[in-house]
Amino acid sequence: MQIRFLFFLCVVVLLIKIIAIYITEFDLFGDEAQYWIWSQNPDFGYYSKPPLLAWLIALVCSFFGNNFEVLKLIPVCLYCVSSYVVYLVSNILYNNKKLAILTGLTFFLLPAVTVSSFLISTDTVLILFWSLSLFQILKIRSAPTLGNFILLGIFLGLSFLAKYAAVYFLLSIPLLLLDKKYRGIFVKKYTYVVVFILSLLIVLTPNIFWNIKNNWLTFNHLLDNAGLDRININLFHGLEFIFSQILMIGPIIFAVFLILLKKINLTFETKFLLFFSIPIFLIVLFESILVRANANWAAVSLISFNILFVHLVYQFSKRMLLINALFNFLIGIIFFTLIATTYSFGYFDRINGISSFTKKFIQLQEDKKNILVINDRLLFSNLNYVLRNADVTFYMPYKPGNKVTNHFQLVSPLPSEINKNFIFMGYPEHLNYLINDYKLINIKSEKVLFTSNPIKIYEVIF
């Protein structure tokens, strides 16, 4: 009865997600549009991310087209598969099919999954292959075959190609040596461990060569993003991060887990789940205190936390699993109802009004220009997607020799010797490097929801 009820809740949430995607008037977020642009030219790497998400988008769109609905259904489908893999991980850990089903269904209803289901992001792909890697390394404990070691290398390699946060998995593997059985396997099967490393490197090799060819652009971006040269200790940011993780996994199951914490036994299963959650959580927590950290940076830790929490609560308070599921179900219904109704709310500002702005711009343009130069990365991505069927060439201002700060400066830089008229959105000083004389005519300044500053539109005439 309990499983049927949770399954019913999941089906309802899934249907609401699909309906919301088809009737909302919201647009893609700038980062989502950027991933779509990447998918139009598949490569072994990109400025800020590894390539797997772009490859996946390219594959899906080659069959179903480039429509908004098609793109938005990608994360929804990925989380359905990930929930099944979470079920597999729980089942292999505890050998309890009922518990495993409840764990997978609870994962699907997590607030973090609800929000992320509407976002095309590298996290959704990472979570799938991280979960598969967890499953595979557990299989190695009971069946240390060469094939299982190779599959672990492949799944972990794909995790890296989804997002470099997969490095946390490598940091957690040495902790398994604390378990006598794993220690014996890694010592006796050391040749298999070497094969695992080789299979991992084979999957990663194209991306490594891309980074070498492009002066380690992605890794340099990650270092800049970490901001360790801008340390400013702030304990309040740490508390914000902790609070965000509680909201992501669900406040009810977290509170019940704290109450039952003293009843937890440090079995292998518990230690395994802690090995693949606590280190990640602590690393990102320290990052949040030292510099800053986004809530999703520790998203993969929620997989193990969810399995551990559900197991403990299942033992002592099955009713609380239902209450937790109902609470998270309501969050999902509310969230996707707001999306379905295109509700004007601050959280959604960045995906609101992009298509309507583009229609105004097309009327303003009056087919006079087919070159559009945009300085802002997110606006560049959004308009590129919305105008994907129009005869428009996009450029981004970039002075040769300056530091590259985004992908479009790398692949679509505005040539300094350009002598064709164009429409420009941005600040005039960003065009100072152009060689030929030009006249800048201020056409309009448009205040919109999806950017913090008004969009200034100019006609540039040579």
Q: How far is CA 92 from CA 101, 280, 316, 355, in A?
A: 12, 22, 21, 47
pLDDT at 250 (0 to 100): 95
pLDDT at 377 (0 to 100): 94
Euclidean distance between CA atoms 137 and 95, whole angstroms:
16
The token pair at 202 is 């084979």
263-273 per-position pLDDT tens digit? 999 999 999 99
What is the residue whose two structure tokens read 């711009």?
361
Tell me the three state secondary structure of residue 374. Answer: strand
More confident: 220 or 113: 113
| Residue 371 parent element (H or E) | strand 371-374
| Residue 122 parent element (H or E) | helix 122-142
pLDDT at 180 (0 to 100): 95
**Residues facing 460 on adjacent strands:** 422, 440
Global pTM reads 0.94
Number of neighbours of residue 35 by Cβ within 10 angstroms: 24
86-112 per-position pLDDT tens digit? 999 999 999 999 999 999 999 999 999
More confident: 217 or 283: 283
Q: Per this entry, what is the length of the chain? A: 462
pLDDT at 365 (0 to 100): 64
Residue (of 85, 68, 75) closest to 22 by Cα position: 68
CB crowding 405-415: b at 16 or more within 10 Å, else e: ebbbbeebbbe
Percent of the chain predicted with pLDDT > 70: 97
The strand pair at 371-374 and 422-425 is best described as: parallel
Q: What does 384-406 look like in DSSP terms, one character per residue?
A: HHHTTTS--EEEB---TTSPP-S
**Residues facing 338 on adjacent strands:** none
Q: How far is CA 408 from CA 121, 133, 220, 399, 403, in A?
A: 19, 33, 16, 13, 13
How many angstroms separate the first and last alpha carbons of the chain? 73
Residue 104, CB-side half-sphere exposure with 13 Å CA sphere? 24
The token pair at 402 is 């300056």
Residue 159, Cβ density class (10 Å: 0-12 exposed, 13-18 middle, ≥19 buried): buried
Residue (of 105, 94, 124, 156) closest to 326 by Cα position: 105
Euclidean distance between CA atoms 136 and 95, whole angstroms:
15
415-438 per-position pLDDT tens digit? 999 999 999 999 999 999 999 999
Residue 227: pLDDT band by 50, 70, 90 thresholds?
A: low
392-413 per-position pLDDT tens digit? 899 999 999 898 889 999 999 9
- Mean pLDDT score across all residues of the chain: 93
pLDDT at 233 (0 to 100): 85
24-74 per-position pLDDT tens digit? 999 999 999 999 999 999 999 998 899 999 999 999 999 999 999 999 999
SS (H, E, C) 257-269: HHHHHHHCCCCHH
